[in-house]
Structure formats: C-alpha cells, structure tokens
Amino acid sequence: MEYRKLKDQDQDESSAPGDLESLRGKPIPAISPVELSKWKLKSAVTIALTVLTSSQAILIVWSKRAGKYEYSVTTANFSVEALKCAISLAALARIWRNEGVTEDNRLSAKLDEVIVYPIPAFLYLVKNLLQYYIFAYVDAPGYQILKNFNIISTGILYRIILKRKLSEIQWAAFIILCAGCTTAQLNPKSDSVLQTPFQGWVMAIVMALLSGFAGVYTEAIMKKRPARNINVQNFWMYVFGMAFNAVAIVVQDFDAVMNKGFFHGYSFITVLMIFNHALSGIAVSMVMKYADNIVKVYSTSVAMLLTAVVSVFLFGFHLSLAFFLGSTVVSVAVYLHSIGKVR
C-alpha cells in the first residue's frame, strides 16, 4: 500500500509540469543575471531620461530673472557642448584603460569621416538657441507639448532621406499628435482660441524641423560605421558644436562677454540647467545604445505631465482640462507611432 501511494505521488508530481504547461503554456524561464542587469540598466536610463526631460524646460524658465536671461545664452550653449565633450573624453579614457586603443575607439579620423559632423552641429546650434527664445511665447508645459512636433518632422524626413516606409498607424499617429497639441493649447478664458501666439507656433515648427533633420542626419552618420565607438562620434559632434557656439558668442554677445565676463549672470539654477542639457544628450545616446525607442516614448509621455505638475507649484501654471486631455492624446499618438513601425 505504501509503495502504491509513493508511486501515485511520483506520477502526480511528474505530471504537474505537464498540467501547468497545458494550462498556462510554456513554463516561465528563470531570469538570468545578465538579463536582470540589462533590465536594471534600462530602468535606470528610463528614469534618468524622464527626470532630465521634464526638468529641462522648467530650469530654462526658472533661470530667468524678471522675465529675461541675465546670462548669455550663447555661453550657456557653449558650456553644454564643452561639458558633453569632456564627458565623452572621460568615457573614452576609461575604455582605453580597460580595453586599450583600437581602430574603432581612437580619436584620430580621416577627413571624409569628420567632414560630415558640422552639418548636424550647426542645426543643433540654431535649434538650441531657439529653445531659449521660444519661452517668450510659451510656458514650460506648453513647450513640452509643442516639442513633440519633431516626431512628425523626423518621420517624414526618414521617409524622404532614408527611404523608410511609414505605416498607416504612423500616419494616423501624426494626425492625432497634431490634434493633441492643438487641444492642449486651447484657451477657454480668452478671445484667442489658442494660448500660444502665432510666433510661438512658428518657432516650435522650425525647432521641430531642425531637430528632426539633425536627428535623421546624425543617425545616418552613426550607422554608416556601426563599429565606431559612440563616444568618438559624439566627441567630434561636440567639438564642432563648441566651434559654432564660439562663433555665435563672437557675433551675438562679444561685447557683453568681454566687458562683463564669460560667466556673468550665472546662478545656481543656470549651472543646473547646463548640467541638465549635457546629461540629457548623454542619456539619449545611452538610450540608443542600451535601450530602445519605447524608453523615449514613456519618458516623453511622463515628462509632459510631470512638467505640468511641477509648474503648478513653481510658476502658478493652471492645469486645465484641455491641457490634460491634450497631453493624454499626445501620449497615445507617441505610443502609436512607436508601435506602428513597419517591420
């Protein structure tokens, strides 16, 4: 009797995995330490990018004094490019120390490789300068909404330049995105339909076109030589960025810098803003390397609402129903655009 009981028990135990598999499909595999570390890295990058993205516009607005910038925006942009360049060099130094200098991570490059970087560097220069002046027409939450127009420009430029097909879902997402941006800008307390004036919309569209073209061009450069270390590619990009911003300082703020100094008007918030811009650029590079596009989707969606909530306490922003609904629609459009890629 005891032998039969033990035998029946063994049969029940041996059949349990099969029953579980028939009920739930395949058994859940154990998570390896490598997959766990990748998941932790992706989570850390997502949180970092969300915080940096949401605080970017807030810090720019917060750095103003009596509605104007007391510091030179050209020197601030130069400082951002210099900091990103220093971070890339520090990352390269660590790679050289651990792995040695190879053909793919050495700084020396041929002219035909380097000559392509001035184009996106110049586009980012103009886009970053417009980023400061657009706040004369739009608040921080509105800026986070309108900057999503670069998804449309990027998608269309992908189609034109890189010959990538856009799915019907992506085209629909573009329309939904425009509707969401417009809804978020509705102004029920004024005769004007939209909160942002015409100049703000023009600057937002120009910024989207510049950002989209620079992003597509940069991706084409990066993927032309995929084995090339990304820190080397970033270094050359940031070097040309520093050069163009130096020219902008001479053209726009030469007298002010010579008379008052390079760091005149800088405050603790200004320094935080510079670090934020630099780390945001590095975080986007890490997303491209270690994560995927869905990370940017979630970061953008959460950052819009997070910026609005923080602006309520810092700047007295009125979180209207139109803005909330518009933000929700934009988030859905961004998600649809991401999942609607042609495979």
pLDDT at 207 over 90: no
Which residue has better confidence, 33 or 236? 236
Q: Can you tell me the distance from the alpha carbon of 147 to that of 154, in angstroms, rounded to the nearest whole number?
A: 12
Q: In the predicted model, what is the mean pLDDT of residues 147-155?
A: 76
Euclidean distance between the first and the last CA atom of the chain, given in angstroms as a whole number? 61
Task: Read off the tokens for 24.
Answer: 């739930």
Query: If pLDDT is split at 50, 70 and 90, which confidence band does 7 have?
Result: very low
Among 47-51, 188-192, 260-264, 322-326, name the most confident range: 260-264
| Segment 94-120 mean pLDDT | 86
Q: Point out which residues pair with 36 in neighbouring strands.
A: none
User: What region, left, alpha or beta, does residue 102 occupy, with left being phi > 0 and alpha being psi -120 to 50 degrees?
Assistant: beta
Number of Cβ within 10 Å of residue 199's Cβ equals: 13
Q: How high is the pLDDT of residue 310?
A: 79
Q: State phi, psi for 298 to the nearest 5 degrees.
A: -65, -40
Q: What is the per-residue pLDDT for 289?
A: 56
List, in order, residues 6 or more apart from 252 with CB less than 8 Å away.
72, 74
pLDDT at 111: 84
Task: Indicate the helix (H) or strand (E) that contains 240.
Answer: helix 230-260
Residue 12, helix vs strand vs coil? helix
Please say whether the beta carbons of 42 and 290 come within 8 A.
yes
Closest to 84 measured CA to CA, from 235, 307, 255, 301: 235
Q: For residues 157 and 213, is the Cβ–Cβ distance under 8 A?
A: yes
CA distance 304 to 143: 9
Instruction: Quickly list H helices, 134-229.
Output: 140-146, 149-161, 168-184, 198-224
Mean pLDDT of 294-315: 71
Tally Cβ neighbours within 10 Å of residue 191: 5
The DSSP string of 146-162 is HTTHHHHHHHHHHHHHS
Average pLDDT (125-145) is 84
The whole-chain average pLDDT of the chain stands at: 78
CA-to-CA distance for 84 and 178, rounded, in angstroms?
33
Indicate the pTM of the whole model.
0.75
What number is the average pLDDT over the span 70-77?
Answer: 92
Average pLDDT over residues 315-341: 78
